[in-house]
């Protein structure tokens, strides 16, 4: 990730500085994320640096699916007397931002220990990619099983069925939900048996 930080004075308001922050959003350096903040003039701009850096890292991760491996920062407007301040205050703010960036679990992540109950056959499955916000894993609890499947088999089957349609639950679960919603909200009677093998409720 390449970052450029620039500082200029506001032409209208005395004592006000304009801090420009620009960061690459892809590894080809063809997309850029920019922020601009206003603050009282002074050598220390760490007030806004950490926030800008965290947002830029999140943006790059959303575009590329991973955090930056390397960081190159070009910093403008540093006098000789301010070098120590940059090293002691700004550099730690920039370096700490990626560590604090929260990320969603990978698609297909299964949690079947720690957050589940030991006496039940249950698991959480993250089956969709969230480009914005926090992913919401679906909770599954198997109450009866005489197939003899291993947990991995059921989890894998469940995950695969989530992708026959773009939804976060297996397709038959979504279909049944849509069917009952249509009947309960619009039809208010049993559908014709002639439609039983049709996906008329989608």
Task: Look at 5-9, 45-49, 194-198 and tell me which has the smallest mean pLDDT.
Answer: 45-49
Q: What is the CATH number of the domain that holds 31?
A: 3.30.420.10
In a domain, 145, yes or no: yes
126 plus 92 within the same structural domain: no
160 and 83 share a domain? no
Does the residue 200 lie in any domain? no
Cα distance between residue 113 and residue 116, in whole Å: 5
70: CB partners within 8 A, 6+ apart: 1
What pLDDT, on the 0 to 100 scale, is given for residue 35? 86
Give the per-residue SS3 of 75-111: ECCCCHHHHHHHHHHHHHHHHHHHHHCCCCCCCCEEE
φ and ψ at residue 201, rounded to 5 degrees: -90, 0
Question: At residue 46, does pLDDT exceed 70?
Answer: no
* Residue 43 in this model has a pLDDT that exceeds 60: no
Mean pLDDT of 1-16: 84
Please report, for residues 14, 46, 82, 161, the alpha-carbon distance to residue 79 in angstroms, rounded to integers and kept in the order given.
Answer: 20, 16, 5, 60
What does 131-153 look like in DSSP terms, one character per residue?
Answer: SSS---PEEEEE----S---HHH
Judged by DSSP in three states, 19 sits in strand
Q: Is the domain of 129 the same as that of 159?
A: yes
Give the residue from 83, 100, 117 where a domain finishes.
100
Give the CB-side neighbour count of residue 2, counting CA atoms within 13 A.
9
Q: Would you state the structure tokens that stand for residue 67, as one six-digit string?
A: 């955090």
In a domain, 201, yes or no: no
Residues 123 and 176 in one domain: yes
Residues 6 or more apart in contact with residue 53 via CB below 8 angstroms:
3, 21, 23, 93, 94, 97, 98
Looking at the structure, do residues 10 and 95 belong to the same domain, yes or no?
yes
Give me 46's structure tokens: 């760490």
Structural domain range at position 114: 109-195
Question: Does pLDDT of 104 surpass 80?
Answer: no
Is residue 7 domain-shared with residue 82, that is, in the same domain? yes
Residue 58, in any domain of the structure: yes
Domain boundary among 47, 72, 100: 100
Label residue 65 by pLDDT band (50, 70, 90).
confident
Q: Is the pLDDT of residue 97 over 80?
A: no
- Determine the Cα–Cα distance for residues 140 and 158; give it in Å rounded to an integer: 9
Asked if residue 36 belongs to a domain, the reply is yes
Residue 86 lies in a domain: yes
Q: Are 42 and 122 contained in the same domain?
A: no
List the one residue out of 183, 112, 114 whose CA is nearest residue 153: 112
């Amino acid at each position: 990730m390449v970052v450029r930080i620039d500082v200029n004075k506001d032409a209208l308001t005395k004592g006000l500085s304009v801090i420009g922050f620009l960061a690459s959003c892809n590894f080809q350096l063809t997309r850029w994320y920019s922020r601009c903040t206003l603050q009282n003039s002074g050598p220390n701009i760490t007030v806004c640096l950490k926030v800008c850096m965290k947002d830029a890292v999140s943006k790059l991760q959303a575009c590329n699916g991973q955090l930056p491996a390397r960081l190159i920062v070009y910093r403008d407007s540093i006098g000789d007397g301010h070098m120590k301040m940059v090293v002691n205050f700004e550099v730690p703010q920039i370096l700490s931002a990626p560590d604090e960036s929260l990320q969603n679990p990978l698609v297909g992540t299964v949690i079947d220990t720690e957050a589940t109950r030991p006496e039940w056959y249950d698991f959480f499955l993250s089956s969709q990619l969230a480009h914005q916000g926090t992913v919401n894993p679906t909770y599954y609890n198997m109450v009866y099983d005489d197939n003899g499947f291993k947990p991995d088999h059921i989890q894998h089957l469940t995950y695969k069925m989530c992708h026959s349609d773009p939804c976060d639950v297996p397709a038959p679960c979504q279909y049944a939900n849509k069917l009952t919603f249509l009947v309960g909200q619009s039809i208010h009677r049993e559908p014709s048996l002639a439609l039983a093998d049709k996906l008329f409720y989608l």
